[in-house]
Amino acid sequence: MNGRKLLNGNVATIFDKNAFNPEALLPDSKFNATADRVALGRTLFYDSRISGNGKTNCGSCHQPGKAYADGLKTSKGFDNKFVDRNAPSIMYASLQQALFYDLRAPSLEDQAADVIHNKLEMHGSMDDVAKLVATDESYKRDFKKAYPELDSISPVYIQNALASFVRSLNPFNSPFDKYMRGDKKVLTDDQVKGFNVFMGKAKCGTCHFVPLFNGTVPPDFQRTESEVLGVTVHADWKNPVLDKDPGRGVHDQFPQWKNAFKTSSVRNIAKTAPYMHNGAFATMQEVMEFYNEGGGAGLGLDVPNQTLAAEKLNLTAIEITQVISFMEALTDAPE
């Protein structure tokens, strides 16, 4: 650790545009972003030559018009086969201590290599990508601009360029952000009421922490939490079926982490349906109904380690609509 904090010490409030510094989690300042590194990362992000069959790029599953999600229940990967999980938005992903639903990647650099190598996703190799960058004239130029101090092109800097691009996707310019910075006209009455329900009666804010609305815990914002909700395979509340994905249980052999998933951010959630790691819920309404029932355990399923309270929230239809309108106010304006 470099001793820097995700939350900048010199801002007036946590709602400032520059309140958070995604580079605080980098092991060394030599990996800090520059405009040229972000540009190189962006080009690689949309280049299918970095996948094993030349057909998939990061942007296939993380589409800018969908807040960098893909709109599918679970993503279509290599050879058009569906992968096991839903593609999350990668906006604000840098403001988490670890990546993926099961928190298995400690940094965005590791994450990028993981996806490129993953047989189901891109089935490529970092060495091949480094060779591509070293032999393609335009990449050679861009790499030299991005890393003028380096004599050779090695995978770790390609991972760093991709990660720098992902770290650039934190616009903080949603109506909610503008409201918190003083423009009181940008939220409707329902949205303000919805925020109060989100923070109060519905207890959403006890896991989706303000202002990132993910699992990165205030006040020091250095650690990202996972939780057990008892997510079901579909939104049939009369015949609920528990999802089998072990989540963190796969690599962390503690019973309390069975079926635990990283708390996703609800920023830009209006653009990233369907929801949850398995894409089980098609609409925000279904997500709200699931929470209103008390999650899996509240629906009567056997989830002994559920961390979401199993009691029904008893939200009224109006309160549910208000929370949904509030979440719609977390959509960033195009930059």
Q: What angle do CA 257, 5, 90 make, to 5 degrees?
A: 60
Tokens in use for 165? 């691009």
- How far apart are alpha carbons 56 and 271 in whole angstroms? 22
Site string for ligand HEC, 10-39 (x = CB under 6 A): ------------------------------
Among residues 207, 212, 297, 329, which is the contact residue for ligand HEC, using CB under 6 A? 207
- How far apart are alpha carbons 320 and 323 in whole angstroms? 5
- How far apart are alpha carbons 248 and 115 in whole angstroms? 18
Tokens in use for 313? 């929230």
Residue 331 is a binding residue for ligand HEC (CB under 6 A):
no
Q: Token match 């009224």: residue?
A: 316
Among residues 38, 67, 153, 202, which is the contact residue for ligand HEC, using CB under 6 A? 202
Site string for ligand HEC, 231-260 (x = CB under 6 A): x-----------------------------
Residue among 183 and 311 whose Cβ is closer to ligand HEC: 311
Residue 52 is a binding residue for ligand HEC (CB under 6 A):
no
Among residues 170, 232, 264, 325, which is the contact residue for ligand HEC, using CB under 6 A? 264
Residue 176 is a binding residue for ligand HEC (CB under 6 A):
no
Which of 195, 221, 199, 197 has its CA nearest to residue 317? Answer: 197
Among residues 6, 33, 122, 161, which is the contact residue for ligand HEC, using CB under 6 A? 122
Residue among 79 and 183 whose Cβ is closer to ligand HEC: 79
Residue 112 is a binding residue for ligand HEC (CB under 6 A):
yes
Residue 88 is a binding residue for ligand HEC (CB under 6 A):
yes
The single-letter DSSP state of residue 227 is E
Tokens in use for 173? 């310019």
What angle in degrees, to the nearest 10, is found between the helix axes of 155-167 and 126-135?
90
- Give CA 169 to chain center in angstroms: 11
Contact 223, 216 (CB under 8 A): yes
Residue 330 is a binding residue for ligand HEC (CB under 6 A):
no
Residue 304, helix vs strand vs coil:
coil
Number of residues that bind ligand HEC (CB under 6 A): 51
Question: Where on the chain is the footprint of ligand HEC (CB under 6 A)?
Answer: 45, 56, 58, 60-62, 75, 77, 83, 85, 87-88, 90, 93, 96, 99-101, 108, 111-112, 115-116, 121-122, 162, 166, 202-204, 206-208, 227, 229, 231, 261, 263-264, 266, 269, 272, 275-277, 284, 287, 291, 307-308, 323
